[in-house]
Amino acid sequence: MKGRIFGSYFKELRIKRRLTLRQFCETSGFDPGNISKLERGLLPPPQSKEKLEQYAQALGLRKGSSVWYEFFDLAAASRGQIPEEILADDRLVKKLPVLFRTLRGEKVPEKKLDELIETIRKG
């Protein structure tokens, strides 16, 4: 299940805070059954940005930090989605097919790869 990657990351962050599942839920007001299912990949990450922000804050993630972005990016990827910030950039969206073909191991012209790299760097 795709949700397992996000769930494992969620659990790893909770454990780093030295909180049991029950402690985390009691202090944050979350349902232990749902958090358990989320951590085990039985529930997909929430679609709601607000809910993800609540989880991130409860896990002590600093807004705008690399861990914050990784949390949201893994949630999107686990749902089979591309993060909103990337979709908002038309230049990047136009380059995504090159990235996908490269990831699949297809031969992509070097010029196309160079264009993709340059687009990402300018990001």
Segments making up each domain of the chain, as ranges: 3-83, 89-122
CATH 1.10.260.40 assigned to domain 3-83? The reply is yes
Rounded Cα distance between 54 and 81, Å, is 20
Measure Cα distances from 7 to 60, 83, 120 in Å: 16, 17, 28
- pTM for this one? 0.77
Of all residues in the chain, what percent carry a pLDDT higher than 90? 59
The DSSP code for 61 is P
In the structure encoding, which two tokens stand for residue 33, read together?
A: 């059954």
- Give me the pLDDT at residue 2, please: 59
pLDDT band at 123 (very low <50, low <70, confident <90, very high): low
Q: What is the average pLDDT across 107-119?
A: 79
